[in-house]
Chain A
């Protein structure tokens, strides 16, 4: 485990603002989802409080990505209820757009818009969805680009940046919408090892600022350092969840033990 932790161990984490409030940010009750007849998500119940940082892990095909994609309605669920920030997701398009503009999402493959400059990537949604004046949107974009430490790249295009830089731009792009919740879908899985650190640093910084986060990731070092809850999923259901120390040291379910031994074993 110490090996996995190296990427962030040199960083002092400031927990002063990482407070969990009683306010509920996301509430998922008895949610089920099928792809055709394939039952991907089964009876998911999950409540996330404002300020919570949750890491979701599990083997591939366990439904963890699908779960967080349901939260901003990139995938629709067939049964159960998802309430995000007080708005219940239904098939009504109006609610979907409202939820999406409150929830930021970072993808495994960055999904930056290649035909727009970095700055335009960051200002597009604020200008067209939030109707922010262009000047103001650009100031906000530069603020967040500085926050992810790449303001000097603002006028370049995504194709000219490294993977780590692109992912940091993707994070900045989401932050420009001033979301109250951030979803991360394996943000470091497509990155070279030396670039993982810069992205994780950005995510830790975000956690320090008190952002509500759900991260699908295999970075167990990150989970230990930042998360206040780790969720293990398998076969479309939540198998085990606990605070990180207990989750890693005394896993209860055999499936969890096996998974942890495989991922931390070597």
Chain B
């Protein structure tokens, strides 16, 4: 490889690394490249700075000078004028009513509050049973509770008065964590499985044996199915699950007019209730409200709509015409009508179709509809992911002898869902925000509560502060979802790295 001597070159000493010249690194370089790279960009930078400054100049004094301690809007205004301020937010409404915005009219655990934090007045009033017992005077009780709540701080009421929904939300985090983060111990998934029953018990109260027997019934049905399928094959096992489910939760003899024997589950509950009466005060759905409602509807909708949506997407690709046709019709019909219309249908029309006298919990109705609505969208998002998968992946899975469900579970869905993550999370965020629509069917979501708060004489005429608070609540959750989806995408990226 020897060339003419004039172009030959041999390096004898190695150049040591040196820092870049001044202005070629760090902040200065970044500013020059990004903010002042040309005359137009410099002008745009200055204009943007001016715009940002003018927005902040008008918003920040209002926000930061806000009044936190007042008991009515008028008092807020007096304080503002006394301070000589032009504008000031009246955060006092949040300070006073944040519990209501979070929990609506969900009842507090007054017995606990009274016996722990209000013991002396309770003793003076004659003890727990005299105030809260069966034969107690309702007016006196309300007066006692109002006096007690005026005496206690909002934080005390938050932690102890609302311990049931609070515990349910804390457990929700524990139950969701092992699903979201694979690094956590897999044993925690049992907590996730048990969580729905615990949450129902904490939120709605009543006998502990209600949710417990439902859970046991489901486990029993699946266990019977497993025993049967081990002896007689998969199909017999599936039939056994369905049969057991019918016998435990429904009345298969209802067609011949026989009642009493089936379903088995109330009998079991009755026996357990008689043996060991355990429970919490029952709270009906119409007392649920506030941001708690958004969390209940949103979480159930998200958790339930993903599997349903995936099944719909697979059904839409099925080679069996009937299944494909059913899935396509479902998706198109659900998606083609606004959610608010479906909510009205659920709250009014459904009554005409159900047998007279049967009541259908308003909250449950909304959860079912929101779930169905979201699952139609999820189905289409997942279908996009399925379509993005090369045909070779299906063929490779087939050629290795994997059956349909295994190739879906192990090969197709992991990849299709990974591609669909942004779309799925997008749908979830939309679903979560759509929970505010339930205000139109009479549920007290946070927005509905802002109206309720404004209807009181003290806070009549207050808008911004309440809406900003509600917006911040929603933003926090949606922002977490968005960040989580980005984390997940990064974590699952195994190609081209």
B414→A101 contact, CB < 8 A: no
Contact call A159/B401, Cβ cutoff below 8 A = no
Q: How large is the interface on B (under 10, 10 to 19, 20 to 34, 35 or more residues)?
A: 20 to 34
Q: State how many angstroms separate the Cβ of A103 from the closest Cβ of chain B.
A: 8
Complex Cα distance, B497 from A103, in Å, reads: 33
Q: How many A-B residue pairs have CB under 8 A?
A: 74
Interfacial chain B residues near A160, Cβ < 8 Å: 497
Q: Which of chain A's residues 184-215 have a Cβ closer than 8 Å to chain B?
A: none
- List the B side residues contacting A124 at CB < 8 Å: 400, 402, 410-411
A98 to B403 CA separation, bound complex (whole angstroms): 10
Among B136-144, B349-357, B363-371, B389-397, the one that faces the other chain is: B389-397
Given A124-B410, A159-B494: A129 in contact with B401 (beta carbons within 8 A):
yes
Tell yes or no: A157 within 8 A of B by CB.
Answer: yes
Report A155-199 residues with CB < 8 Å from chain B CB.
Answer: 157-160, 173-174, 177
Cβ-based interface call for B261 (8 A): no
User: Is A109's CB within 8 Å of the partner chain B?
Assistant: yes
Asked whether any CB of chain A lies closer than 8 Å to the CB of B282, the reply is no
**CB of B299 within 8 Å of the partner chain:** no
* B111 CB to nearest chain A CB (Å): 53
Tally chain A residues at the interface, Cβ within 8 Å: 30
Given A115-B418, A125-B402, A177-B401, answer yes or no on A157-B396 (Cβ-Cβ < 8 Å): no
For A98, what are the chain B residues with a Cβ–Cβ distance below 8 Å?
401
Q: How far is the CA of A115 from the CA of B414 in the complex (A)?
A: 8
Contact with A along B409-422 (1 / 0, CB 8 A): 01100110010000
B399 touches A (CB below 8 Å): yes
Q: How far is the CB of A213 from chain B (nearest CB, A)?
A: 15
User: Quick check: A114 and B415 within 8 Å, CB to CB?
Assistant: yes
Inter-chain contact A74/B494, CB cutoff 8 Å: no
What is the distance, in angstroms, from A82's C-beta to the closest C-beta of chain B? 15
For the complex, is B496 an interface residue (Cβ under 8 Å from A)? yes
- Identity of the chain A residue whose Cβ is nearest the Cβ of B409 in the assembled complex: A128
Would you call B399 and A100 a contact (CB within 8 A)?
A: yes
For B496, list chain A residues within 8 Å (CB). 159
Considering the complex, give the chain B residue whose CB is closest to the CB of A109: B392
Which residue of chain A is the closest to B492 with respect to CB atoms?
A115
Alpha-carbon distance between A65 and B397 when the two chains are bound, in angstroms? 18
Q: What residues of chain A lie closer than 8 Å to B390, measured between beta carbons?
A: 109, 111
Q: Is B286 on the interface with A (CB-CB < 8 A)?
A: no
Contact A157 B403 (CB under 8 A): no
**CB neighbours of A157 from chain B (8 A):** 494-495, 497
**Nearest-CB distance from B295 to chain A (Å)?**
32
Report the separation of the CA atoms of residues A10 and B401 in the bound assembly, to the nearest whole angstrom. Answer: 37
* Residue of A97, A112, A160 ringed by the most chain B CB atoms within 10 A: A97
Closest Cβ neighbor of B396 among chain A residues: A111
How far is it, in angstroms, between the C-alpha of A109 and the C-alpha of B399 when the chains are bound?
14
A159 to chain B: closest residue by CB: B495
Q: Of A101, A115, A159, which contacts B400 at CB under 8 A?
A: A101
Q: Give chain B nearest CB distance to A27 CB in angstroms.
A: 20
Q: How far is the CA of A227 from the CA of B398 in the complex (A)?
A: 27
Nearest CB of chain B from residue A252's CB, rounded to whole Å: 34
With the chains together, A116 CA to B393 CA distance in Å?
Answer: 12
A112 to B411 CA separation, bound complex (whole angstroms):
10
| Alpha-carbon distance between A93 and B405 when the two chains are bound, in angstroms | 13
Interface status of A34 (Cβ within 8 A of chain B): no
Indicate if the CB atoms of B401 and A125 lie closer than 8 Å: yes
**A259 partner residues in chain B, CB cutoff 8 A:** none
Decide if A226 is an interface residue (CB 8 Å cutoff).
no
Q: In the complex, A240→B395 CA distance in Å?
A: 29
Whether B406 sits at the interface, judged by CB under 8 Å, is yes
What is the bound-complex CA distance between A191 and B210, given in angstroms? Answer: 64
- In the docked arrangement, what's the CA distance between A105 and B390, Å? 17
Judging by beta carbons under 8 Å apart, are A128 and B410 in contact? yes
Interface centre among B392, B398, B494, B495, by most A CB within 10 Å? B494
Distance between B397 CB and nearest chain A CB, rounded to angstroms: 8
Q: Which A73-124 residues have C-beta < 8 A from chain B?
A: 74, 93, 97-98, 100-101, 103-105, 107, 109, 111-117, 124
Question: Which of B396, B406, B415 sits near A115, CB closer than 8 Å?
Answer: B415
Instruction: Find out whether the CB atom of A74 lies under 8 angstroms from the CB atom of B410.
Output: no
The contact of B403 among A97, A104, A116, A158, by CB within 8 Å, is: A97
Provide the bound-state CA to CA distance between A1 and B403, in Å: 44
Once the chains bind, are B411 and A128 in contact (CB under 8 Å)? no
User: B67 to chain A: closest CB distance in Å?
Assistant: 55
In Å, the complex CA distance between A143 and B393 comes to 24
Query: In the bound complex, do residue B392 and residue A115 qualify as a contact, i.e. CB atoms below 8 Å apart?
Result: no
CB distance from A85 to the nearest CB of B (A): 13
Question: For B400, what are the chain A residues with a Cβ–Cβ distance below 8 Å?
Answer: 100-101, 124-125, 129, 173-174, 177
**Could you tell me the distance between the alpha carbons of A72 and B401 in the complex, rounded to whole angstroms?**
9
Closest approach, in angstroms, between the C-beta of B199 and any C-beta of chain A?
A: 32
Tell me if A159 and B497 are in contact (CB < 8 A): yes
Closest to B411 in A: A113
Asked whether, in the complex, the Cβ of A128 is within 8 Å of the Cβ of B406, the reply is: yes
Distance from A159 Cβ to chain B, minimum over Cβ atoms (Å):
4
Q: Smallest distance from the beta carbon of A186 to chain B beta carbons, Å?
A: 13
User: Nearest Cβ in chain A — how far from B485, in angstroms?
Assistant: 17
Report how far A177 CA is from B406 CA in the complex, Å.
16
Q: Which A residue sits closest to B392, measured CB to CB?
A: A111
Chain B residues positioned under 8 Å from A158 (CB to CB):
495
Q: For B398, what are the chain A residues with a Cβ–Cβ distance below 8 Å?
A: 72, 74, 100
Q: Cβ of A113: which chain B residues have Cβ within 8 Å of it?
A: 393, 396-397, 411, 415
CA A174 to CA B400, docked complex, whole Å: 7
Nearest CB in chain B: distance from A73 CB, A: 8
Query: Which of chain B's residues 403-448 have a Cβ closer than 8 Å to chain A?
Result: 403, 406, 410-411, 414-415, 418
Q: Cβ of B495: which chain A residues have Cβ within 8 Å of it? A: 114-115, 157-159
A-B contacts besides A109-B390, A160-B497, 4 pairs, CB < 8 Å: A100-B399, A105-B399, A157-B497, A174-B399
Query: Which residues of A line the B interface, CB within 8 A?
Result: 72, 74, 93, 97-98, 100-101, 103-105, 107, 109, 111-117, 124-125, 128-129, 157-160, 173-174, 177
- Sample (19) of A-B pairs whose CB atoms are under 8 Å apart: A101-B401, A107-B392, A109-B390, A111-B390, A111-B392, A113-B396, A113-B411, A114-B415, A115-B494, A124-B400, A124-B402, A124-B410, A124-B411, A125-B400, A125-B401, A128-B402, A157-B495, A159-B494, A177-B400
5 smallest CB-CB distances across A and B, nearest first, come from A101-B401, A111-B396, A159-B495, A125-B400, A111-B392
